[in-house]
């Protein structure tokens, strides 16, 4: 349970849903976690993050962050490095949903989705990688840092009626491959986790009776996913067991993409 002891991790989009579950799981596994989000308000997934995070790990904390803001993101990462000595892990979980096909995706909708799902990931990784490359290698594999990007099965197959969302998630998976190929020699390990249908507690059309019936029929597993399933996959890719896994996209979908 202390596989991540001594590691410092930044998780974006940490207030709700999958990001919240990831932040809490990494803390349970021994990491000092900075859970960052644009708001402390919980959209889905339980009470506000700060208190349960501190209960697990008194050294962990919540930080307010808009991932679209390059200066603020760089400042937070610099602050983490100054306080903790280094940044060992970054998980890019901040996202917004999209629900329009291309003809209905005007510039405002395109920017609303991609400013977080694509540019926000770029901003976070740009600042995080700059810090990691200055850090001394450590461990038997001489690692400087790890990255786990949160993608989606809809970055691999089409996201029906959600043009900007699908395109943005496909780009995140390409970022993962690009960073792994460019920086493995520098001691950087970069992978992604792509969830299938995950029940986070959100409401709306995505969890309508019709949508859930389709997802259950489409998923070979006898249940749909939970945020804890995604968090477990992230913890695995953050652990010392996975030093030779780099540039990989781990599906957490109950077999959806295999069927």
pLDDT on residue 184: 98
pLDDT on residue 45: 63
CA proximity to 257, closest of 173, 181, 201: 173
**In this model, does residue 196 exceed pLDDT 90?**
yes
Element (H, E) at 171: helix 163-183
Q: Does any domain span residue 3? A: no
CA dist 180 and 192 (Å) reads 11
Q: What is the number of domains present in the chain?
A: 1
Q: Does any domain span residue 17? A: yes
pLDDT digits (tens, 9 = 90+) for 146-192: 999 999 999 999 998 999 999 999 999 999 999 999 999 999 999 99
Tokens 């021994």 found at: 30
**In this model, does residue 1 exceed pLDDT 70?**
no
CA dist 206 and 192 (Å) reads 23
Please give the torsion angle defined by the CA atoms of residues 102, 104, 108 and 109, in that order, rounded to the nearest 10 degrees. Answer: -70
Q: Does any domain span residue 236? A: yes
Q: Does any domain span residue 255? A: no
Active site residue 122: no
Q: Does any domain span residue 66? A: yes
pLDDT on residue 203: 75
Q: What CATH number is attached to the domain comprising 205?
A: 3.40.50.720
Quote the percentage of the chain above a pLDDT of 90: 88
The mean pLDDT of 1-10, rounded to a whole number, is 92
pTM: 0.96
**What are the φ/ψ torsions at residue 35 (nearest 5 degrees)?**
-90, 115
Domain that holds residue 190: 8-250
Q: Which tops the pLDDT comparison, 94 or 202?
A: 94
Provide the 10 A C-beta neighbour count for residue 256. 20
- Structure-token pair, residue 241: 């067991």
Q: Does any domain span residue 258? A: no
pLDDT on residue 211: 86
User: Residue 46 — very low, low, confident or very high, per pLDDT cuts 50/70/90?
Assistant: confident
- Structure-token pair, residue 247: 């540039």
Rg over CA atoms, the chain: 17
Catalytic residue of the set 122, 165, 214, 236: 165
Please, is 141 exposed, middle or buried when counting C-beta atoms within 10 Å of its C-beta (0-12, 13-18, 19+)?
exposed
Q: Does any domain span residue 238? A: yes
Q: How many residues does the structure list for the chain?
A: 259
Q: Does any domain span residue 256? A: no
CA dist 61 and 56 (Å) reads 11
């Amino acid at each position: 349970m202390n596989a991540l002891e001594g590691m410092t991790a930044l998780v974006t989009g940490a207030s709700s849903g999958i990001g919240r579950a990831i932040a809490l799981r990494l803390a349970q596994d021994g990491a000092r976690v900075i859970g960052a989000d644009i708001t402390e308000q919980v959209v889905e997934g339980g009470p506000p993050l700060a208190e349960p995070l501190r209960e697990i790990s008194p050294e962990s904390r919540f930080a307010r962050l808009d991932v679209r803001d390059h200066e603020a993101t760089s400042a937070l990462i610099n602050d983490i490095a100054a306080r903790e000595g280094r940044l060992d892990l970054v998980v890019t979980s901040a996202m917004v949903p999209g629900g329009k096909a291309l003809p209905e995706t005007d510039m405002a909708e395109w920017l609303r989705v991609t400013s977080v799902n694509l540019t926000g990931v770029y901003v976070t990784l740009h600042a995080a990688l700059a810090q990691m490359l200055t850090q001394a290698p450590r461990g038997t594999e001489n690692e400087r840092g790890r990255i786990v990007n949160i993608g989606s099965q809809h970055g691999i197959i089409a996201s029906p009626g959600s043009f900007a969302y699908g395109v943005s998630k496909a780009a995140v998976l390409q970022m993962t491959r690009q960073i792994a190929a460019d920086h493995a020699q520098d001691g950087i390990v970069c992978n992604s986790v792509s969830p299938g249908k995950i029940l986070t507690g959100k409401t709306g059309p995505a969890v309508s009776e019709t949508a859930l019936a389709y997802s259950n029929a489409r998923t070979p597993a006898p249940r749909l996913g939970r945020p804890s399933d995604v968090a477990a996959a992230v913890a695995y890719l953050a652990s010392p067991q996975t030093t030779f896994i780099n540039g990989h996209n781990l599906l957490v979908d109950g077999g959806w993409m295999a069927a």
